[in-house]
Structure 1
Amino acid sequence: MQPQLLTVPAQSGPTEAVPAVRPVRFAGLRLVHAALRRDLARLPNALRLLQPGDEPGAEALRRHWDFLTAMLTCHHEQEDRRLWPLLRRFAPELRLLVNWLEDDHHNLDHSFTRTTTLMRIATRDPASAWSVAYAVEDLAARLETHLRIEEEQVLPVMTSLFAPQSRVGTLGELLDLLRLADGPGAPDALAWLLEGVAPEQIEALIAECDDLTARQWPHWQAVYARCSAELWGPAATVE
């Protein structure tokens, strides 16, 4: 289940107006973590269900795995080039941890590259898909350790370090970086990030983006829903 990325404040009185939702800090980072967890949890089952001769299904799996790894790469680059230098400068007590996280990014990238080779084999030969599914599950457990360290040891320091209006770690910053990088397009990335998020939460997040993104979002969401149905079935599409 997708983690709640926004909180709903309690009503203080019958006439007191309060916002429907309040964004959580660093939503861009948190959304990437949640989306990676979500897809790594359901990819093994999709592999095990792959049937011989199902070329459309195999191709959909290959495309989605390539997209997922590209998003992971962009996420690591965002942290290594943008976030970690700031933390080394303004939170020197985190330097050793940040150095370890950056080194672990390289280790994870190598692990994903090896798994990409296995995915190519599994989608060409579904008889090998079960063993590859186990490899994806092992990779998911490996990544989970890394994500938890960031969330439990780095994000709390960032909360006290950066002002609430800072763009560091926000969804808007992530989309800007994707536009500048040679990676996934913002439409696909945004739809992937917001899959499974409650509609009122999506509305609050889209409101933080530029006007063009806000106007195009319904179309991006609908296209992603049709494409994701090839992988996970209609029940997993975004309403």
Structure 2
Amino acid sequence: MADVRDMYMAHRMIRREFGLLPQRVREVEPNDTRRSEVVGAHTELVCGFLHFHHEGEDLILWPLLQGRGGEEAEAVLPRMEEQHHAIEAAGNEVLRLLPEWRSTGRSGHELAEALDRLLAVLLEHMAMEEEQILPLAEKYVTAAEWKQLGEHSMKEVPKKVLPLAFGMAMYEGNPEVIKAVLAEAPLPARLILPFLAPRLYAKHAKRVHGTATPPRGTAALGEPGQPSRAEM
């Protein structure tokens, strides 16, 4: 059945990057368009990653659980879908404000507040997904079907930024999970990404966050090796 550990890795990346973004925006001085372009480009990039991540769940994961999970799935899937709509709405507000701030460096407080709202709904959603959806996926989704979920995101993300995206995930990724993900990749990627991706992210993080080693997020409740809510 599905090995869902890669979802925790993706969620760690999302928590970290979206958690840091509001402050990155607030730090930009008004009219500093060089800096607003750097942070704005990163904001657009991670919003794109988030969109493709959730699109795959909408198209692949939810229908599988709906068809097999019975009452267990019916109890949680409507809330998952509501949260996706809320995340999409919050993300669209960020993307609405982003172009003007990116080009002028002005009114950053509005964008930062929109990012705060997006982060709030993201954190709620990921916590609930980890607590209730991932156990269902382990129970009802096959490894081949779970692989399709990852392939969807990889197919949609522009190829030129795929190594950077993988570097973002690798930064806090479990080495065993990274190895398992790479095992499914084509041979050139298996050989190159372990060396290229971390370097690309370190360079990118230095430009965006001012350090090649930005603050790491906390492990999710229920993540392998971490306590579940019931155990706390």
Q: What interval of TM-score do these two structures reach, taking the shorter chain for normalisation?
A: 0.7 to 0.9
Q: Distance in 2 between matches of 1:48 and 1:179?
A: 31
| Equivalent position amino acid for 2:205 in 1 | S
- Normalized per residue, which structure has more helix? 2
Q: 1:139 aligns with which of 118, 124, 144?
A: 118
Going from structure 1 to structure 2, the CA distance change for 1:137 and 1:88 (only over 3 Å counts) comes to same
**Consecutive unaligned residues in structure 2, runs of 5 or more:** 215-232
Q: Which residue of 2 aligns with 1:192?
A: 168
Q: Distance in 2 between matches of 1:198 and 1:190?
A: 13
Q: Which residue of 2 aligns with 1:154?
A: 133
TM-score, normalised via structure 2 length = 0.78
Q: Is the 8 A contact 2:203 2:212 kept in 1?
A: no
1:228 pairs with 2:205: yes
1:177 pairs with 2:155: no
Deviation at 1:91, TM superposition (A): 0.4
Cα deviation 1:47-78 (Å, max 9, x = unaligned) = 11112453332112222111111111111111
Greater RCO, CA 8 A, separation 6+: 2
Identity %: 25
Runs of 4 or more above 6 Å deviation: none
Q: Distance in 2 between matches of 1:56 and 1:221?
A: 25
Q: Distance in 1 between matches of 2:165 and 2:81?
A: 23
Could you say what the CA RMSD is over the residues aligned between the two structures, in angstroms?
2.7
Q: Distance in 2 between matches of 1:133 and 1:108?
A: 16
Deviation at 1:230, TM superposition (A): 0.9
Q: Is the 8 A contact 1:88 1:95 kept in 2?
A: yes
Q: Distance in 2 between matches of 1:203 and 1:30?
A: 15
Question: Which of these two proteins has the greater Rg computed from alpha carbons?
Answer: 1
**Consecutive unaligned residues in structure 1, runs of 5 or more:** 1-23
What is the 5 A alignment of 1:103-114?
103-114=82-93
TM-score, normalised via structure 1 length = 0.76
